[in-house]
Amino acid sequence: MNATSINKIGVFTSGGDAPGMNAAIRAVVRASNFFQKESMGIARGYEGMIEGDISKLGTRSVGNIIQRGGTILKSARSETFRTKEGRAKAIAQLRKHGIDGLVAIGGDGTFTGLHALIEESGIPAICVPGTIDNDIAGTDYTIGYDTATNTAVEAIDRIRDTALSHNRLFFIEVMGRHSGYIALNSAIAGGAVAVIIPEAETTFDELYTILEQSGKANKKSSLVVVAEGAKLTAMDLARMVAERSNYFDIKVTILGHLQRGGSPTYFDRVLASQMGVAAVEGLLGGKTDCMVGIRNGKMVYNSFKDIMNGQTHEIDPGALRLAKILST
């Protein structure tokens, strides 16, 4: 399909929600309008695509949403779309509504589904990385990561207040799936004594030694940040410490989905806006089967093969070293 023939761009969000998704939707719609193209909102991700839950979006439709968390288009996971028959139904609905270009906002599962749809339909499509986990290769930041990390840091600051009041040891578990980005950077910003992440597992004995040293240094409280993808959970670690010593007054806080909600930070709003516009410009410039990313402050386009071949966004060794130095 010639890029100049794209007249109606569909936009949808899929997978887990992330703060800033609404800003990205807004950017896609307004960029489409700027280039005199129609935009269509596909509700509930691939499931809504299959069911034809599709409606026109105008500039007024996306007014007053840039500051809102979640996604106005809703999100859902679709087992039906994993089948060729399910994708055929989705493609039929896209054609029925005249959609000849797509922008998907989500994570790696969203991208995998979109790649299959492109191959089977020929409809040009571009992905925008929206996930708090910051685990996608090809971009320095994903939409929602900054807000989720700030939320974690705010929670850690509040927990420290009560930890100091009672001389307690707190294990704080943060989200991130298989990535330790949120845990590592919130631990540095929150002054944690240790951080446990999947990419650089600390053994229990190593952690216990750190806690003992912290006690000998007469620290009034100790905070340990644990990524949800670590082999040992916050509950596991708390139990193991309690079994070895009764010196510590131990508490566990699991932040969970608290990190996905809330108003996006300025960074996520600007990033989402930049990526949404870049996705539309990419489509109209003839790009497809790729993901918008930001590297060293510049927008880039990554082919599906480059980002979905087992690569992940690797943790910076310098950040690990920084966390170790500052915990002493």
* CATH topology match: 3-144+264-307 vs 146-261: yes
The domain spans of the chain are: 3-144+264-307, 146-261
Q: What per-residue confidence (pLDDT) applies to 219?
A: 64
Read off the pLDDT of residues 172-220 as tens digits, 9 standing for 90 and up: 999 998 899 999 999 999 999 999 999 987 899 999 998 888 766 566 6
State residue 313's pLDDT score: 82
- What topology does CATH give the domain 146-261? Rossmann fold (3.40.50)
The whole-angstrom separation of Cα 91 and Cα 294 is 30
Which are the catalytic amino acids? Answer: 133
* Ranges of the chain whose pLDDT falls below 70: 1-4, 215-221, 310
- Stated pTM of the model: 0.93
Helix (H, G, I), strand (E, B) or coil at 243: helix
Q: How is the beta sheet containing 298-303 ordered, strand by strand?
A: 54-57, 38-42, 8-13, 101-106, 125-129, 290-295, 298-303
Rg value, the chain, Cα: 22
Note the pLDDT of residue 216: 64
pLDDT at residue 2, rounded to an integer: 46
The encoded tokens of residue 204 equal: 């229990």
Strands 222-227 and 54-57 come out as: unpaired
The pLDDT of residue 174? 97
CATH architecture of 3-144+264-307: 3-Layer(aba) Sandwich (3.40)
Would you say 306 and 291 are in contact if contact means Cβ atoms under 8 Å apart?
A: no
| 254-293 pLDDT per residue, tens | 999 999 999 999 999 999 999 999 999 999 999 999 999 9
